[in-house]
Structure 1
Amino acid sequence: MKHLGILFLLFLISCSNNKPPTLGVTILASPVSDRSLTPNLFTADNGTIYLSWLEKTEQQTEFKYSSLEKKVWTAPKLISAGNNWFVNWADFPSFIVNDDVLSAHWLQKRSEGTYDYDVRISQSLDQGLTWSESFIPHSDGIAAEHGFVSMLSLYDRQNFITWLDGRNTKSSGEHEHGHAGAMTLRAGIFDHQGNMTADWELDNRTCDCCQTAAAITDNGPIVAYRDRSENEIRDIYVTRRVNETWTQPKAVFDDNWEISGCPVNGPAIAARKNQVALAWFTAAKGYSEVKLAISSDAGENFEAPIIISQGKTLGRVGISILENGLVAMSWLETENDIADIMLAVFEFNGKEIIRQSIAQTSIERASGFPVMTHYGDQIILAWTVSQDGLSKVKSAEIVLNL
C-alpha cells in the first residue's frame, strides 16, 4: 500500500506538470483619442516598443507615436499633421527607430485626384523633439498612387523602404484615377539626412492595393507582396537581396488565385537569422483561407503552406518570430458582423501550440488591420475598434505560458 501511495503521488505531480499552454492577455491603457485609427508597431534594437497612429481633428489629421515603458504607453508625441493627407484603412503610416534616428512615413495628396498621392518621410535626430522637412523617396514626379510602404532599419543610420509605385499607371497628361500600365514594386535606401542612396524596381507588375511586407535575414532584406500576372493570377511572391543583387521574384506557393480586382489583403513576414515565416490570405478555391509557410534558408525556399483558417476568415494577417523560435500569427475570423482577432502560436515546424481569440472588432473596413510586434517572448498586438462613427486604437500584451 505504501508503494501504491508513492506511485499515486508521482502520478499527481506528473499531471500537474502537464498543464495545457495558455495565453495571458493584458489590455494596455490606451494613449489615444476616440478618433484614432491605423495603428502600427515597431520594436527597436534596444527592445523599446513603439506604437504609432493617426488622429482626426476637425481641421486636420495628426500623426502621433508613443513608447511602451513598464507596460504603460508614454504621453503621445506629434510627428506631423496636415489637411491634405490620404488616409486609408489599409494603407497606413509607419514609424521606425534606427540608433538615434526616428523615421516616419505618411501619404500626402499631390493634386485634386483622389488617388494621386506621394509617400512622405520625416526624420528626427533629437528623440522626437523636432522633425525634418519631409521628403519623397520616389523620384518620378508623377501624380499617381504611391503607398503600401514597409520600412526597416539597416546599418550606419540607413533605412530600407519598399512601396507600391503607380508611375506607370498614368499616361501623359492624365489627371484622374486611370490605368495606362501596371502598378510596380520599388525599393530603396535612405540615410539619416534624407538622401536616397539606392533605388530599385523589384517587380514591374503587381497587385494594386495589397500591403507589402519586409524583413531582414542574415543574408539581407526579403520583400513579400501580392503579384499580378497577365492572366490576373494574384499570388504571394518574394524577392531577396543577396550578394548586392535582387533575386528574380517567385511565388511562395502556387495558389493560382484568379481575381480581376485587388483583394486588399497583403502578406505578413518575419525573420530571425535565416528563419522566415510568412502568412497570407487567399480565396483561390472559392472560399477564404489563411496560410502559413516557413523557410529555413532566408526565404530561398518555403515548405508547403499550412492552412490556418478556412471559410470564416477575413485575412488581415500579422506575424512574428519570438526569441524562443516560436511563431506567433494573428488574423481575423468572422461570425455575423463581429470579427475575432485570433492569435496562434506555432513551433517553427508548423506544429500548433495554441490559438485563442484576443479581442473583438467589427468586420467593417474602418476596423483596419491588426498589427503585431514582439520583444523577446512578449507579444504586443494593436487594433482599431470602430463604432457609431468613432474609432479608437487599442492594444494588448500577450504572454505564452507553457
Structure 2
Amino acid sequence: MLKTMKPLFFLFLGALLFLAACQSITPSPTANEGLLTEIPVPGTEESGEPNLFAAEDGQIYLSWVAYLNDTTDALLFSRLEGTQWSAPKMVASGSDWFVNWADFPSLVAYRDGGQSLAAHWLQKRAAGTYDYDVHIAQSFDGGNTWTPAFIPHRDSIAAEHGFVSMVPLSENRIFATWLDGRNTKAPDAQPDAPHSHGGAMTLRAAIFDKNGRLFEETELDDRVCDCCQTAATATHDGLLVAYRNRSETEIRDIWFVRQKNGKWTRPAPVFEDNWLIAGCPVNGPALDAVGKRAAIAWFSAPNGKAQVKAAFTSADGQGFLPPIRIDDGEPLGRVDILMLSEEEALVTWLEKAKDSAFIKIVKVGPSGKLSESRRLTTTSPSRQSGFPVMAKSGDNLVLAWTEVDSLTHVKTAFVGW
C-alpha cells in the first residue's frame, strides 16, 4: 500500500495541477528538419519515463513520472485535446517506487469508450534494491479517482517483477505480460545482488478484469533476458508477445509467442541473430499490428556489430519474414514501431552522433522497401534520455521522449511525416 502523504504535500500537488490547467499551451515548431511541432507537457518540473497509448476511440494518452522531490514520485497522465494536453491527473504517488529509465509505467484504456483506465507502476518491497512488484490501479471515471492497486503476480516472492506490457481485449478485460523473477531467488541470495540469484528470469502473463480478478495466469517462457522490455499487441487472430530470450549459452535474440484458439504457441525466434552477450543489453523489441499483419522492430549486435532491424509477419501469420536492417550504421537501439497499414510501418530508434544521439525515423514495408531516414531531434545517448515512444490517432502522429539537461523533462511533439 502506498504511504500516506502529508497535507502540505497534497496542497503543493494540487497547486501544480491547477497551474498546469491554467496554462496557455500553444504548439511551437522545432528546428528539426521541420518534422516536429512541439506539444508542451503541462505541469512538469523534473520528469521522465514518458509513455503513450492510442485508445480504440481515437484518444491519445500521455503518462509520465513526475519527480516531486528527492523521495517522492508521482504517475501523471493527460489526454490529447486538439493541439494540447489536458490538465494532468495523478494516478498514484509514493516514496517507495522503483523508478527506472528502461522499465517505465504505462496507462491503457478498456475498449468501452474511454472512461475506464488501467495503469501500472513498480513498487519496492522488503529490503532488496531489486525486489519490487507490479502494481495496477484502475479508474472508471476518466481518471478522477483510482481503485486501490492490485498485484498481477501471486508468487509473494521478494524478487524483480517488471517490464510490463498491457493490451486491452474488451470492455471488461485487459491482457498483461511481464518479466517475473520468482525463480531467480535462491535461499542464499543476497538482497542487493542485481538481476540474477539462482534460477532464470521468466516471462509470465495474465488477464485481469475491472474487479481486479485474474484469469489465465501462465508462464510463457521459462528462461528470458533479465531486463529488456516486453512487447505485446492484439492481432486479427490472437495475442502476440515479443521479448528477448536467453539461451543456456548466452545467446540473447528476440523471440515471440502467439495465442491462437486460446492456446499459446511454443517460443520461437523472430530471427536468429545469434547475439552472444554475457549481460542484459537493456534493449527490448517493439510490436504493432494492423489488419492481418504485425510488425516488429529490435536492436541486436552480433559479433559486436550494432544494428536495428524490422520484420513483418508472413502471409499465414505463423512467423516472420526475413528482417530488414534500417539503421544508419551506429544505432543505440531503443526502438519503437507503428504500423500505418498492412504494407507500411514507421520505426524510430536512437542513432549515435558524436557526443549526442539522434532520434531517427524511417518508413519500411514487408518487401524491404525503405524510405530515407529522417532526423527528428537531438537527444542524449545516456540512460537518462530513456526510450522514445510513438502513438497515432487519425492524422495525428505523436512522439514522446525525455530531454536531458541539468534536469530531465518529458517532451512531446506532433510528427509531420
TM-superposed CA distance for 1:353, in Å, is 2.6
More displaced, 390-399 or 304-313?
304-313
Equivalent in the alignment of 1:53: 64
Q: Does 1:394 align with 2:406?
A: no
Quick one: structure 1 residues 191 and 298, their matched pair in 2 at CA, closer, same or farther if it must change by over 3 Å? farther
Give the Cα separation in 2 of the matches to 1:325 and 1:379.
Answer: 18
Structure 1 stretches of 4+ with a deviation exceeding 4 A read: none
Which amino acid is 1:137 matched to?
A: P
Q: Normalized against structure 1, the TM-score is what?
A: 0.91
Aligned residue among 74, 79, 91 for 1:67: 79
> In structure 1, how many angstroms separate the alpha carbons of the residues matched to 2:224 and 2:129?
21
Say whether the 8 Å CA contact 1:147–1:165 is kept in structure 2.
Answer: yes
1:172 shift after superposition: 3.3
The question of whether the paired residues in 1 share the 8 Å contact of 2:179 and 2:204 is answered with yes
Letter in 2 for 1:204: D
The count of aligned residue pairs is 378
**1:355 lines up with 2:373 in the alignment:** yes
The residue matched to 1:304 in structure 2 has which SS? coil
Change over 3 Å in CA distance of 1:236–1:23 after alignment to 2? farther
Partner in structure 2 of residue 368 of structure 1? 386
Query: Cα distance, 1:296 vs. partner?
Result: 3.8
- 2:94 corresponds to 1:76: no
Contact 2:290–2:342 under 8 Å retained in 1: no
Between the aligned partners of 1:216 and 1:298, the Cα distance in structure 2 is: 16
Please say if residues 291 and 342 of structure 2, whose CA atoms lie closer than 8 Å, have aligned partners that are also in contact: no
1:363-391 CA distance string (max 9 Å, x none):
11001000111123432110001112x10
Q: Among 244, 250, 274, which residue is 1:256 paired with?
A: 274
Tell me the equivalent position of 1:340: 358
Residue 37 (structure 2) pairs with residue 26 (structure 1): yes
Q: The residue matched to 2:384 in structure 1 has which SS? A: helix
1:158 aligns with 173
Change (3 A) 1:221 1:48: same
Aligned to 1:18: none
Q: CA RMSD in A?
A: 1.5
Q: 3-state DSSP class of the match of 2:387?
A: coil
Report matched runs for 1:1-400 at 5 Å. 24-58=35-69, 59-98=71-110, 99=112, 100-172=115-187, 174=189, 176=191, 177=193, 178-297=196-315, 299-309=317-327, 311-323=329-341, 325-388=343-406, 390-400=407-417
Aligned counterparts of 1:84 and 1:288: Cα–Cα separation in 2 = 36
Q: Which stretch of structure 1 is more off in the superposition, 298-307 or 275-284?
A: 298-307
Matched with 2:12 is none
> Residue 260 of structure 2 aligns to which amino acid in structure 1?
V
Letter in 1 for 2:394: G
- The code of the aligned residue for 1:396 comes to A
SS in 2 for 1:30: coil
| Shift of residue 303, structure 1, vs aligned partner | 1.1
- Structure 2 residue runs of 5 or longer lacking an equivalent are 1-32
Match of 1:5 in 2: none
Write out per-residue CA displacement over residues 329-348 of structure 1, whole angstroms, 9 at most, x where no aligned residue: 10000112211000112234
Amino acid at match of 1:305: P
- Determine if contact 1:48/1:67 at 8 Å carries over to the other structure: yes
CA distance in 1: counterparts of 2:326 and 2:371, whole angstroms:
12
- Find the residue that maps to 1:137 and give its secondary structure: coil
CA separation of 1:224/1:23 partners in 2, compared to 1, >3 Å: closer, same or farther?
farther
Structure 1, residues 308-365: CA drift from partner, whole Å, max 9, x if none? 1154110000000025852111000011221100011223433123421111110110
SS of structure 2 residue aligned to 1:184: strand
Distance 2:316 2:183 in 1: 31
Distance 1:358 1:327, change over 3 A: same
Cα gap change, 1:383 to 1:377, in 2 (>3 Å): same
1:298: Cα distance to partner? 6.9
What secondary structure, in the 3-state scheme, does the structure 1 residue paired with 2:333 have?
strand
Mark the CA change 1:172 to 1:299 in structure 2 (over 3 Å): closer, same or farther: farther
Q: Greater share of strand residues, 1 or 2?
A: 1
Measure how far apart 1:171 and its partner are.
1.4
How far the C-alpha of 1:32 sits from its partner, in A, is 4.2
Contact 2:45 2:67 in 1 (8 A): no
SS in 1 for 2:232: strand
* Secondary structure in structure 2 of the residue aligned to 1:285: helix
Deviates more, 1:29-38 or 1:231-240: 29-38
The one-letter amino acid of 1:253's match is F
C-alpha distance in 1, partners of 2:35/2:376?
10
CA contact (8 A) 1:281 1:290 kept: yes
Indicate if the aligned counterparts of 1:324 and 1:376 stay in contact, CA closer than 8 A: no
